[in-house]
A and B are shown apart, each in its own frame.
Chain A
């Protein structure tokens, strides 16, 4: 019953954009119907997820399906439910946001296609997290991946957007290819069971196959999650997609990769130590590289995209600690690490969507994403600015908001193994200073972004006259900001839910080390409330007095300060970027100034992506040039490609007939 309710919600989301295709462009009915359908989907998905998480038990459903090797099996356990919750919440809020951000009135050419693929992407993600069968999982995965392409390429009249779309498509195809290899290995090693859940067959797999599956999943799912160095598609895609799509991709779609990695690591009962060490190392690298590149960005949305890479790193650090805990028989480490990772999945979905929504609100009003062209927005868009600062405090992991709560779990995992040494405690110990460094850099980066975009004086005419956005944009932000505060102040609310999900990942862990006894939730709540109380009193004491005078900013004796003299986002980050140049490799154009009366000059700096701009694109261009006109197979004719597919299917069928692989 519950599972079929969830399936109905998936269908609702998938069809949410369809009616809009048939209404005339002057009618608002299509927009309203799609928002209503997405809200209904969100409510249903959240209901199902919360029911499972609050102790309703896993729900299952199995329907007849004629696909070979496939079975229409749906299973929602606590681990699925943790991911189903943001899949329900964020797209529903995003649909409301999109109603004001991308109305059909202003975008007659692409608003319909946007709504259609938005619903499809949501449905695909929901299917991914509830599928218990590998074929069904892959169906959801491909729907999600392809719908994602059309969403990235919404404004396909711009060359930059098309390029972002192609990069996304190429990388997502590569990722899928690796996933087919992974499922193939599972299929071969378990003797034809296409289950995507722990079973005696997966537990009994030979260690070498287990490791192969985990490595392939890190590569295949890592592309989707944005793991360094597989993150290359993410900054252009998130930068160029409409903001509510960026929010959906960054807040939720990346987590589908994380979900895959979580599922695969739960298939096996005894992970060797090096899995955890590898995942921890990958997490630290992603976290540091992500935040270092974020510091170098000039484009607000690209900056947020790199912070997704950073946060995926933090999630993986939690998973790495948990795997180390499982491998060395330390349930407390495993529970804290995994619960921290899960909690951060939620929190990142909340604050990153909030940040993309408020960034989108700015882009909507000013028409630019260049931080160095903005400034002083907070005076005219107070609520958007407030939403951004809440998101910024949350993502930087600062108390009393939710980012702090989940990072605290990961810190505690690391600190506890240091306090009770034994096993690889020194490896685990270095997670804490790494996280501290990532956190401090994130504080710097968001102080830069918030300061440059919202504070000071406008740096260009774009930022001169913005108006506050409509309620369609503000209401979703309010919901997310409230949730960020709630999870930060009262993390005790989610602890029982996370504990159930930890048990779904590795049965028996919670019994060995109950999560509630490991995290000081009451102390966090009391500390947060004390902080807020003292803040309130201090604000009251230091409120503006009637005797206060107003004057221009003190410019150290210079009597006519101009907005152009302000510190920009680039100058703010310059010192850190230079310190981190061994990661970031910034490129600056700085002509030498000569003579007594130098001519006007210019300065320019950029941080090309290490993987995409410095390796992948040059390499592919070189290959394309080298092959040149000698391309025989890749003619660009769709008929030829259909022919190839047909031939490939025939060959494969023949192979199966001879080899008899499929049951």
Chain B
């Protein structure tokens, strides 16, 4: 139990930049390049934390609160999610609501931090972030409801625990929908293609990157790290759903988890390589589609 919690913590602290490295490698592979080494994101973070920062004269404490809240909420949320078949360090009945609302809290402060700079571009990104989240939130909850219904449990650890294998055999159609819907939520919440392009350099087209234009140095590093952590946390949900294996052995379970989360990162990289970013006006349609899909998954239980 203690060992599990320690491994969990180690994964939370160490793994997120690696996922970015994997995505980068996959994209490089598709582009026919060698690409930066897997540890490049670690080096980038180290570089950012060594730098000094430039702070806009327009801003108040809220500007600094953006990265701080983003990091803290992602850390607490990471403690609620089970990695693989192993139980999460923190688990209680109803923790999935706290999980979803922690991300909402982070969103409130990142959006406010963007507004704090008084920049039109950052305001634009903030408005888009808030808009798309309003559609992603119901999709996430409908997916959770389906899992609650399938497992009879109100905690993330219970929902994604040993019963998952049985749920796959009895309600496979619903779970397929849930996986797709959660994957869409993962992409939009961690600002990946087709919703947002983290590699773009045109302010007008970006969502998340444009919100943090004014953050620099350690604050920017924190934002990148927290975003990668969010990718890990949401990826862990998807990874567990597609690899519902519980061997009972501690090292094997963690190996399965490590493999499946890397597979999720590879899929994200593939999606990013083969798809173009959607036009902004089409994004809501895809999100409504995800809501309907997970709603459908829930309704299937009423047959």
Contact = CB atoms under 8 A, between A and B. Distances in A.
Contact of A443 (B92, B98, B130, B140): B130
A604 interface: no
Contacts of B118: 375-376, 455-457, 553, 561, 563, 566
A448 B117 CA distance: 14
Nearest to A574: B127
A396 B108 contact: yes
A576 B134 contact: yes
Interface string B202-244: 0100000000011001110010000000000000000000000
Contact of A567 (B97, B107, B115, B298): B115
Contacts of B153: 419
B94 A446 contact: no
A455 B128 CA distance: 18
Interface stretch (A127-135, A169-177, A429-437, A621-629): A429-437
Interface string B176-219: 00000000000000000000000000010000000001100111
Interface residues of B, number: 85
B124 interface: yes
Given A415-B145, A456-B116, A535 B53 contact: no
Given A433-B142, A444-B131, A542-B219, A426 B298 contact: yes
Contacts of A421: 149, 301
A389 B62 CA distance: 10
A415 B225 CA distance: 32
Contact of B117 (A389, A456, A550, A573): A456
B35 interface: no
Main secondary structure of the interface of A (DSSP, over half): helix
Contact of B214 (A397, A526, A554): A554
A187 interface: no
Contact of A436 (B65, B94, B137): B137
Interface stretch (B72-80, B166-174, B251-259): B72-80
A531 B68 CA distance: 11
A411 B97 contact: yes
A201 to B, nearest CB: 40
Nearest to A566: B118
A495 B131 CA distance: 35
A552 B73 CA distance: 29
Contact of A538 (B54, B71, B96, B298): B71
B67 interface: yes
Nearest to B97: A411
Contacts of B102: 399, 531
Contacts of B142: 433
B203 to A, nearest CB: 5
Nearest to B107: A443
Contacts of B137: 436-437, 439-440
A26 B92 CA distance: 61
A567 B124 CA distance: 7
A419 B119 CA distance: 46
B261 interface: no
Nearest to A541: B218
B126 A451 contact: yes
Interface string A387-413: 001001100111100001001100110
Contacts of A553: 56-59, 117-119, 214
B245 interface: no
Nearest to B140: A436
Given A545-B52, A566-B120, A572-B123, A440 B133 contact: yes
A437 B138 contact: yes
Contacts of A376: 58, 118
A452 B123 CA distance: 10
B38 interface: no
B300 to A, nearest CB: 11
Interface in A577-626: 579
B6 interface: no
B55 interface: yes
Given A393-B105, A436-B141, A561 B112 contact: no
A498 B147 CA distance: 30
Given A411-B97, A437-B138, A444 B112 contact: no
Contacts of B97: 407-408, 411-412, 415
A567 B53 CA distance: 25
Interface in A445-469: 446-448, 450-452, 455-457
Contact of A444 (B94, B98, B134): B134
Interface in B121-168: 121-124, 126-128, 130-131, 133-138, 140-142, 144-145, 148-149, 151-154
B302 interface: yes
A559 interface: no
A523 B145 contact: no
A421 to B, nearest CB: 7
Contacts of B107: 443, 447
Contacts of B59: 553
A542 B298 contact: no
Contacts of B52: 545, 547-549
Interface in B72-106: 72-73, 75-76, 79, 90, 92-98, 100-102, 104-105
B174 to A, nearest CB: 13
Given A408-B97, A433-B142, A527-B76, A535 B68 contact: yes
A544 interface: yes
A343 to B, nearest CB: 14
Contacts of A407: 97
Contacts of B289: none
A565 interface: yes
A555 B90 contact: no
A551 interface: yes
Contacts of B247: none
Q: Which of B54, B111, B141, B142 has the most CB of A within 10 A?
A: B141
Most A-side CB within 10 Å, residue of B107, B134, B217: B134
Given A451-B115, A451-B116, A531-B76, A556 B203 contact: yes
Contacts of A527: 76, 90, 95, 98
Interface in A488-508: none
B98 to A, nearest CB: 6
Nearest to B110: A447
B112 to A, nearest CB: 6
A420 B134 contact: no
A508 B195 CA distance: 51
A531 B214 contact: no
B46 interface: no
B299 interface: yes
A575 B104 contact: no
Nearest to A546: B52
A389 B58 CA distance: 18
A434 B295 CA distance: 12
Interface of B: 52-60, 62, 64-65, 67-69, 71-73, 75-76, 79, 90, 92-98, 100-102, 104-105, 107-108, 111-112, 114-124, 126-128, 130-131, 133-138, 140-142, 144-145, 148-149, 151-154, 203, 213-214, 217-219, 222, 284, 291, 295, 298-299, 301-302
26 contacts: A404-B98, A408-B98, A415-B97, A415-B154, A418-B148, A426-B302, A432-B141, A439-B101, A448-B127, A451-B126, A519-B94, A534-B75, A539-B68, A544-B55, A547-B53, A548-B55, A550-B56, A553-B117, A553-B118, A556-B203, A566-B119, A567-B120, A571-B123, A571-B124, A572-B115, A575-B128
Ranked nearest first, the 8 interchain pairs of A and B with the lowest CB-CB distance are A567-B123, A451-B115, A456-B118, A523-B92, A444-B130, A547-B52, A440-B137, A436-B141
Given A398-B104, A527-B76, A579-B135, 6 more contacts: A399-B105, A415-B96, A419-B152, A554-B119, A572-B126, A576-B127
